[in-house]
Amino acid sequence: MTATLITHARLIDPEAGTVRPGAALLQGGRIATLFDTPFPEVSDAARLDANNAFLAPGIIDIGVKVGEPGERHKESYKTAGLAAAAGGVTTMVTRPDTAQPIDTPEVLEFIKDRARDDAPVNVLPMAALTKGRAGREMTEIGFLLDAGAVAFTDCDHVCTDTKVLIRAMTYARSLGALVMCHPQEPGLSHGAAATSGKFATLRGLPTVPPMAERMGLDRDFALVEMTGVRYHADQLTTARALPALERAKHNGLDVTAGTSMHHLTLNDMDVADYRTFFKVKPPLRSEDDRQATVAALRNGLIDIIGSFHTPQDEESKRLPFEEAASGAVGLETMLPVLLRLYHSGELDLPTLFRALSLNPAKRLGLDAGRMSQGAPADLVLFDADKPFVLDRFKLHSKSKNTPFDSARLQGKVIATFVAGTPVYRSA
């Protein structure tokens, strides 16, 4: 296998919390050597001059939806993989909320095959926690683990039968499986299209109070305390939920939490005149909530950022707001969009990659996500400053439902490496 030497880079090390100039030698699928000098002498290596761009551990995106099986017209493993590579995502952790839910080892094997054949990046599948994500019977957690499921989740279907959930969590605990939940009180969120507040009132949209998130989280934490399961909250997006997370962590529960790129960078006002590409789940929050979420990410309370990539075709979105489908694509736009927080001074780069790469790797027990010798050479090389105007029709995803169409962004991926092999090079 040929070696690649990336010279004159700025290395982002999320473990050490540093950015330092240097070079990296990729060999045998791993980071063979890191150099403190920008132009080290190495023979027998293809050289790539980074021109002082940033080199970071590749993004591990927990919560990506691909349309297979069932909705391949919205996204296939091939197109999602290309979008991921172009966005610096080296590992997609996929959701089981497909048209046919991923709830049996057979379906899981099918998508693993599809991913292996078609996607240029790593794919780690999650499986449903209950059959059909219906919240009535647990799935074959043991078989699914053996088949390669890295976590168990019913995604946005909140299990309301607490007995079912306790048993599933207890069983998962006995096998050491990670359970991911969507903290939300469904009695309050049912039918909602926006977060309660002045804006939603003005627009006359059905709403969910932000407190519904904390109510869901409080219940889940009570069950975690009972069962001892390893728990991850998929998205925390409100200020009121954060003290509950802090308490749970302080009390030693094995819990982590994520948030989404959209809730870190947009607020409820962005919906403006019923723009359905801004309809996500949970709905966009107030600016106060957005700022609280960014602060929680900065201080490490919130562990992980995901794109919650949700491809929807035009027909699903070209409807009155209440009827339109939720979700946005994000694999390819996540890094430039989140760099807004870097440019505005809200987050530094090591903190950003702690949440994008290091923490997801740790939570899933992966070796990746680190800028250190011996770590897998899953890397993203990017220019943090390059300005561009996003054109949604140029995205690699089959679906083009991004709220950032025509947005002015700064930061472009130059190259993405998976196991030392370039899977994307910018034109």
Partner 1 sequence: MRFDQRHLLGIEPLRPDEIGTLLDLADSYVTLSRRREKRSSALSGLTQINMFFENSTRTQSSFEIAGKRLGADVMNMSMQASSIKKGETLIDTALTLNAMHPDLLVVRHPHSGAVDLLAQKVNCAVINAGDGRHEHPTQALLDALTIRRAKGRLHRLNIAICGDIAHSRVARSNILLLQKMENRIRLVGPTTLVPPVLKEFGVEIYEDMREGLRDADVVMMLRLQKERMDGGFIPSEREYYHRFGLDAEKLSFARPDAIVMHPGPMNRGVEIDGTLADDINRSVIQEQVEMGVAVRMAAMDLLSRNLRARPTELSA
| Binding region for partner 1 (CB under 8 A) | 196-198, 201-206, 273-274, 315, 318-323
Nearer Cβ to partner 1 (232/285) = 285
Nearer Cβ to partner 1 (231/321) = 321
Nearer Cβ to partner 1 (198/408) = 198
**Calpha distance 95→362 (Å, rounded):** 19
Q: Are strands 178-181 and 207-208 parallel, antiparallel or unpaired?
A: unpaired
Helix, strand, or coil here: 58? Answer: coil
* H helix or E strand, kind and range, residue 145: helix 141-147
Contact 31, 373 (CB under 8 A): yes
Nearer Cβ to partner 1 (44/323) = 323
Per the listing, tokens 């132009």 go with 39
Task: Please enumerate in sequence order all residues whose Cβ is within 8 A of that of 316, keeping only pairs 6 or more positions apart, or say none.
Answer: 324, 325, 401
Q: Are strands 230-233 and 178-181 parallel, antiparallel or unpaired?
A: parallel
Nearer Cβ to partner 1 (354/392) = 392
Residue 274 Cβ, how far from partner 1 at the closest point, in Å?
3
Residue 205 Cβ, how far from partner 1 at the closest point, in Å?
5
Nearer Cβ to partner 1 (117/315) = 315
**Calpha distance 425→427 (Å, rounded):** 6
Nearer Cβ to partner 1 (204/243) = 204
Residue 320 Cβ, how far from partner 1 at the closest point, in Å?
4
Nearer Cβ to partner 1 (149/205) = 205
Residue 268 Cβ, how far from partner 1 at the closest point, in Å?
12
Nearest CA to 331 out of 86, 153, 145 is that of 86
Contact 248, 257 (CB under 8 A): no
Going from the C-alpha of 170 to that of each of 179, 329, 391, the distances in angstroms are: 10, 34, 47
Residue 392 Cβ, how far from partner 1 at the closest point, in Å?
17
Residue 200 Cβ, how far from partner 1 at the closest point, in Å?
8
- The dihedral built from the CA positions of residue 137, 141, 147 and 153, taken in this order, carries a sign that is positive
Contact 382, 414 (CB under 8 A): yes
Residue 235 Cβ, how far from partner 1 at the closest point, in Å?
24
Nearest CA to 107 out of 97, 117, 120 is that of 97
* H helix or E strand, kind and range, residue 80: helix 77-86
Residue 279 Cβ, how far from partner 1 at the closest point, in Å?
11
Residue 326 Cβ, how far from partner 1 at the closest point, in Å?
15
**Calpha distance 263→278 (Å, rounded):** 11
Nearer Cβ to partner 1 (322/348) = 322
Residue 191 Cβ, how far from partner 1 at the closest point, in Å?
8
**Calpha distance 350→361 (Å, rounded):** 15
Tokens of 216: 């869901």
* H helix or E strand, kind and range, residue 264: helix 261-265
Nearer Cβ to partner 1 (252/320) = 320
